């Protein structure tokens, strides 16, 4: 677990540097990104009492992965990487009981808005509520980080990146390509990036 946590922290630092080389001094509102994701998360879970709604587990877990990106950024702002590893690892080891997801999400969102920080314990509770394991979080994070990195490397900020690959969105290609690789392999992230690169060249650049 320690090595996987370290890998996620390193990758988050790198993707933030792609957005801005000196990202830690820019005062980006990471907390705002988190609470907006929380609203989207609740929509995927369902909250409307006037219609039938079934929680979309896949989308719920993807939103949690997105929140994890911003949470890691806050942790990196407040601590060195070694401290981050210890904080995260101890949090995952803590015993947390499953609760009411909607109430736990509202508490997590409230803490985010009040502190403008990352409620790590609250996030772990949301993982328990939605049966998101550490392995699921890790694979989801690495995959999404690879996609975010690939987008940045191919003109996402300048508007030259093509998100639709031959009629299919890039995130769908990501899921498909990731499923063909071994997440326990130390080269998982680089292998996935290379697979994305080949697919992009075939589906987009060759057109």
pTM for this structure? 0.82
pLDDT (tens place) for every residue of the chain, 207 residues total: 888 899 899 989 998 998 899 999 999 999 999 999 999 999 999 999 999 988 888 888 889 999 999 999 999 999 899 999 999 998 887 788 889 999 999 999 999 999 999 999 999 999 999 999 998 899 889 888 888 889 988 888 888 888 888 888 888 788 888 888 888 887 888 899 999 898 888 888 765
Domain that holds residue 27: 1-130
Structure tokens at 206: 């060759």
Do 23 and 90 lie in one domain? The reply is yes
Alpha helices in 94-187 (DSSP H): 101-115, 120-129, 134-153, 170-178
| HSE-up of residue 29 (Cα within 13 Å, Cβ side) | 6
Do 169 and 116 lie in one domain? The reply is no
Q: Check the CA dihedral 109-111-116-119 and report its sign.
A: negative
| Coil/strand/helix, residue 95 | coil
Domain count, the chain: 2
């Amino acid at each position: 677990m320690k090595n996987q946590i370290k890998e996620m922290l390193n990758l988050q630092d790198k993707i933030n540097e792609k957005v801005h080389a000196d990202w830690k001094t820019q005062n980006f509102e990471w907390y705002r990104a988190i609470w907006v994701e929380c609203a989207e998360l609740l929509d995927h879970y369902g909250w409307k009492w006037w219609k039938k709604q079934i929680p979309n587990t896949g989308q719920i877990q993807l939103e949690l992965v997105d929140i994890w990106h911003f949470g890691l950024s806050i942790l990196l702002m407040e601590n060195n990487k070694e401290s981050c590893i210890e904080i995260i690892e101890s949090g995952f080891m803590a015993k947390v009981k499953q609760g009411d997801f909607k109430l736990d999400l509202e508490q997590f969102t409230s803490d985010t808005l009040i502190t403008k920080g990352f409620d790590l314990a609250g996030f772990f509770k949301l993982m328990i509520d939605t049966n998101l394991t550490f392995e699921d979080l890790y694979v989801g994070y690495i995959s999404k980080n690879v996609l975010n990195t690939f987008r940045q490397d191919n003109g996402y900020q300048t508007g030259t990146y093509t998100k639709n690959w031959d009629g299919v969105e890039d995130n769908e290609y990501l899921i498909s390509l990731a499923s063909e690789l071994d997440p326990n392999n130390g080269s998982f992230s680089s292998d996935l990036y290379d697979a994305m690169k080949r697919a992009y060249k075939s589906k987009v650049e060759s057109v």
